[in-house]
């Protein structure tokens, strides 16, 4: 499956990811240093103390020297030190949060593809039935609702109303136990994050299924006496999935960026949560780190999707 060409391709892509990460972080670094104001200014810090703090972070040097040492640090995987919590290195924080964001995104992606495909296939095989209309309407509503609206309603229903209704026996507890969370904590955020995209997948699957099930080879498969299930799944769905696969790239990016909002609503300690907190705290070093982390995450996810194409569609070679 992975020939020598594929390995070379992966190598090239990794170089491109590094370049993209460098580009994004440089842009944010230089942009942040153009912003007015002083991140370290406070009434508790003045005179020599202030100068010493500036010196500690190297902020008293000319911009180009700061930039050179930033890039040098970045190439060593060192994103510097938090401006608010002095002495706390940023790289471990960003790496941990990247893994949490990736976890949530991955579960959301599984949900998106699973539910989207099932909905699409069911709607297509029962075209123009009430079930088809119900699913089609749901998917129009789904992709018209921003994920934070869906998240809000889910919290209202599962977090508050269910709690009141069952008098506290069953309800969704917002929170994130441990580093990796738990199944009880992840299913609702993943649902909120994936639902709009599941709607798009369902629409696409339905449309391409409708085209495929009218093909001759499907009639042949039925005429051979195969069961309806085998025909639908093995013959029709496999070919109907090809147009769906093409939107996998934008889908993954959408889920990653959508996570910024979802993590803040559900209090998940991922990159998105850190993003909002660090901007509010004016911890610019962490802001740079978060954007760097996002650039890396998007690059890696895109590479993963492109490699997945090879697995799914053997005609694709790199």
Partner 1 sequence: MAATAAIAASRPIAPEQASLWSDAWRRLRRNRLALVGVVYLALLVVVALVALVHTPYRFSEVDVGRPYSGPSGQHWLGVDELGRDTLSRLMIGAQISLVVGVGTQIVVLAIGVPIGLAAGYFRGWFDQVVTFVINLFYGIPDLLVALILVFLLGPSLTNIIIAIAVTRWMDMARLMRGQTLSLREREFIEAARASGAKPIKILFGHILPNALGPIIVQATFGVPAAILFEAFLSFLGLGVPPPTPSWGSMAAAGIVTMRIAPFMVVAPAVALSLTLMAFNFVGDGLRDALDPRSRR
Using CB under 8 A, list all residues that contact partner 1. 20, 24, 27-28, 31-32, 34-35, 140-141, 143-146, 148-149, 152-153, 155-156, 160, 207, 210, 253, 256-258, 260-261, 264-265, 275-276, 279-280, 287, 291, 294-295, 298, 302
Q: Which is nearer to partner 1, 93 or 256 (CB)?
A: 256
Q: Which is nearer to partner 1, 36 or 314 (CB)?
A: 36
Hey, what are 237's tokens? 């769905």
% helix, strand, coil for the chain, step of 5: 75, 0, 25
Rounded to a whole number of angstroms, the minimum distance from the CB of residue 134 to partner 1 is 15
DSSP single-letter state for residue 89: B
Q: Which is nearer to partner 1, 242 or 276 (CB)?
A: 276
C-alpha 94 chain-centroid distance: 15
Rounded to a whole number of angstroms, the minimum distance from the CB of residue 190 to partner 1 is 18
Which of 300, 316, 290 has its CA nearest to residue 253? Answer: 300
User: Cα separation of 124 and 145, whole Å?
Assistant: 23
Rounded to a whole number of angstroms, the minimum distance from the CB of residue 156 to partner 1 is 6
Give helix 4-34 / helix 63-75 axis angle, nearest 10°: 150
Q: Which is nearer to partner 1, 111 or 275 (CB)?
A: 275
User: Cα separation of 255 and 108, whole Å?
Assistant: 7
* Alpha-helix residue ranges (DSSP H) falling in the chain: 4-34, 47-56, 63-75, 90-125, 130-144, 147-154, 162-165, 183-212, 216-223, 228-230, 238-246, 248-266, 271-281, 284-312
Q: Which is nearer to partner 1, 93 or 301 (CB)?
A: 301
Q: Which is nearer to partner 1, 118 or 210 (CB)?
A: 210
Rounded to a whole number of angstroms, the minimum distance from the CB of residue 256 to partner 1 is 7
Rounded to a whole number of angstroms, the minimum distance from the CB of residue 143 to partner 1 is 7
Angle made by CA atoms 244, 245, 246, in degrees to the nearest 5? 90
Rounded to a whole number of angstroms, the minimum distance from the CB of residue 264 to partner 1 is 7
């Amino acid at each position: 499956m992975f020939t020598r060409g594929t390995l070379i391709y992966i190598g090239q892509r990794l170089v491109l990811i590094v370049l993209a990460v460098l580009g994004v972080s440089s842009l944010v670094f230089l942009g942040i240093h153009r912003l007015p104001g002083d991140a370290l200014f406070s009434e508790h810090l003045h005179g020599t103390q202030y100068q010493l703090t500036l010196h500690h972070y190297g902020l008293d040097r000319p911009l180009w020297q700061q930039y050179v040492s930033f890039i040098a640090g970045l190439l060593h995987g060192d994103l510097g030190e938090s401006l608010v919590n002095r002495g706390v290195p940023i790289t471990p924080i960003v790496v941990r949060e990247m893994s949490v964001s990736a976890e949530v995104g991955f579960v959301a992606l599984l949900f998106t593809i699973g539910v989207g495909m099932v909905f699409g296939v069911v709607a297509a095989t029962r075209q123009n039935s009430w079930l088809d209309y119900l699913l089609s309407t749901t998917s129009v509503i789904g992709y018209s609702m921003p994920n934070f609206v869906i998240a809000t309603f889910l919290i209202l229903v599962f977090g508050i109303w269910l709690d009141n209704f069952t008098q506290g026996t069953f309800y969704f507890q917002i929170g994130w136990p441990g580093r990796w969370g738990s199944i009880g904590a992840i299913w609702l955020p993943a649902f909120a994050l994936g639902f709009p995209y599941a709607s798009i997948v369902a629409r696409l699957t339905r449309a391409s299924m409708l085209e495929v099930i009218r093909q001759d080879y499907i009639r042949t498969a039925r005429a051979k006496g195969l069961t309806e299930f085998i025909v639908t799944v093995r013959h029709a769905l496999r070919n109907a999935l090809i147009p769906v696969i093409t939107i996998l790239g934008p889908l993954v990016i959408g889920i990653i960026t959508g996570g910024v909002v979802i993590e803040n609503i559900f209090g998940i300690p991922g990159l998105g949560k850190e993003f909002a907190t660090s901007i509010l705290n004016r911890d610019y070093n962490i802001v740079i780190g978060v954007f760097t982390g996002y650039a890396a995450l998007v690059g890696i996810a895109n590479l993963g999707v492109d490699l997945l194409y090879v697995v799914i569609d053997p005609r694709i070679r790199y």
